[in-house]
């Protein structure tokens, strides 16, 4: 995730950001511990389509604050498609 999204944020490439965040939404873990993952990613994709870096970073920050620690502890090693 970070390899694609961080690069697009740094370059301000909103098209790539929207596509990446749409893809991240599909990676939502099936565990009930991650109820907002997909909706946060879709909100970020919508912000990217509106060329709102503030909206994109708010979505990223929201997801990271809710799930980063838990994700690293539980799912860091999972293979993504």
**What sign does the CA torsion over 45, 46, 48, 54 have?**
negative
Question: What's the pTM value of the predicted model, to 2 decimals?
Answer: 0.89
Least Cα distance to 20 among 30, 34, 35, 10 occurs for 10
Q: What is the pLDDT of residue 81?
A: 66
pLDDT per position as a tens digit, 38-61 = 999 999 999 999 999 999 999 999
């Amino acid at each position: 995730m970070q390899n694609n999204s961080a690069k697009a944020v740094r370059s301000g490439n909103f098209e790539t950001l929207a596509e990446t965040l749409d893809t991240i939404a599909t990676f939502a873990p099936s565990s009930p511990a991650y109820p907002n993952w997909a909706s946060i990613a879709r909100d970020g994709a919508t912000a990217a389509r509106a060329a709102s870096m503030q909206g994109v970073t708010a979505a990223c920050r929201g997801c990271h604050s809710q799930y980063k620690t838990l994700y690293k502890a539980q799912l860091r090693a999972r293979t993504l498609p």
